[in-house]
Amino acid sequence: MSIQQEKLSQAVSIMNELDIDMWITLVRESETSPDPVLELTLGRNITWLSAFIITRQGDKTAIVGSLDEPGVSSTGLYPTVVPYVASMRDDMLRILSGADPGKIAVNFSTSDVLADGLSHGAYLTLKDYLKDTPYTDRLMSAGGIIGALRGRKSSEELERISCAISITEEILSELTGDLKLGLTEKNVADIITGGMKKRGLEAAWDIDHCPAVFTGPDSAGAHYSPTDREIEPGHVLNVDFGVKYLEYCSDMQRTWYFRRSSGEQIPDEVQRAFEAVRDAVRKASEALEPGIEGWKVDDVARSHITSLGYEEYPHALGHQIGRKAHDGSGLLCPRWERYGTLPFEKVEKGQVYTLEPRATIKGYGVATVEEIVVVEEKGCRFLTHPQEDLWVI
């Protein structure tokens, strides 16, 4: 069974759970204007305006342009494929009137970007199709469906993520043997990229900052491209990196300290910062379980970091991961306006999260790790091998 077959079956179950009668994905020219959900529900691009319609009874219908019909039919995912030439309006209204859905979910969301794939133009087209019908007032956000669909990982999805993690760990382990003073951030990135290309893989996100490499104090940080800054004695070095394996991603961070001399002990302020981050991950993992709101898990780690005198880190504790490095809807994040309703979403079994607090060390750099866990029936389980000790060069 393909990932798309698994996900379409899962979607019907989720719709019944949420009491939603019909889900419509309306998209066009998906190569240039993609709806992120299409990779889970179709696995290919389409050109003409198309509607992919699923009902809570399990009916799956695609209304597509006549030239797109052979490709969509070949997937076998939609038992009913309706081709059109001039307009899909009449076919859309016929299907709606036949099913007479009370709640119709479409792909918009103010908080979850991966559930916000319906363009405004396509939405206006849909509203025009539905004028003078009762269905206009029955439209609602498909955010709940899409969030659960992306979040609840199947066994195959988990296997692919685990493989991506294992490969990332191998590459980072190899990197440790190559690290030395005088290398630039760009040099380090090249070593990592070489290990990825040797394995025939691609980066989990934009190659210009995957890997992100930042060394010492006052560096640009994780969302900036590696620079010509050299690793100097006393620097803390961080790498943020992941690969994509069979369309599923990893996303990990690791931290190294470069001694000033061969006999130097790790400075207390560096060791304390690393331990603060490591212990924040432990505490958050102990709190993470089905049913808890994401902000509460974030607060466990954030409070631990700030209680030790470190400044509050300016990002979420963790995000979901899957086909995208930043996947799913619920976040382990503070209750900041920028996150909308995401902090209040409840954690679910099967979701895969990163845990990535950080602590700034004045004069040295930033201590951070990024681990990956899967939520199970009770608690969570690490998919990464956690960095328990600071790696010293």
Residue 200 has pLDDT above 70, yes or no: yes
Tens digits of residue pLDDT in 303-313:
999 999 999 99
Tens digits of residue pLDDT in 328-387:
889 999 999 999 999 999 999 999 999 999 999 999 999 999 999 999 999 999 999 999
Angle at 152 between CA 298 and CA 118, to 5 degrees: 90
Give the CA distances from residue 131 to residues 82, 127, 139, 275, in Å, rounded to whole numbers and listed in that order: 22, 6, 12, 60
Mean pLDDT (whole number) for 167-171? 98
Q: Which helix (H) or strand (E) holds 377?
A: none
Tokens (6 digits) for 383: 């998919």
Q: How confident is the model at residue 222 (pLDDT cuts 50, 70, 90)?
A: low
Mean pLDDT of the chain: 96
Residue 274 has pLDDT above 90, yes or no: yes
257: left (phi over 0), alpha (psi -120 to 50) or beta: beta
What is the share, in percent, of the chain residues with pLDDT greater than 70? 99
Contact 365, 217 (CB under 8 A): yes
Q: Which helix (H) or strand (E) holds 41?
A: helix 38-41
Q: How confident is the model at residue 220 (pLDDT cuts 50, 70, 90)?
A: low
Phi (first) and psi of residue 169, to 5 degrees: -65, -40
pTM, 2 dp: 0.95
Q: How confident is the model at residue 224 (pLDDT cuts 50, 70, 90)?
A: confident
pLDDT for 221: 67
Contact 333, 339 (CB under 8 A): yes
- Following DSSP, what letter does each residue of 329-350 receive, concatenated? EEEE--S-GGGTTGGGSBP-TT
Mean pLDDT (whole number) for 182-186? 97
Q: Which residues are paired to 367 by β-bridges?
A: 359
Mean pLDDT (whole number) for 32-61? 97
CA pair distance 207, 201, nearest whole angstrom: 12
CA pair distance 23, 338, nearest whole angstrom: 27
Domains defined for the chain, CATH in brackets: 3-150 (3.40.350.10), 153-392 (3.90.230.10)
**CB neighbour list of residue 282: distance below 8 Å, 6 or more residues apart:** none
Tokens (6 digits) for 322: 């899957």
pLDDT for 86: 97
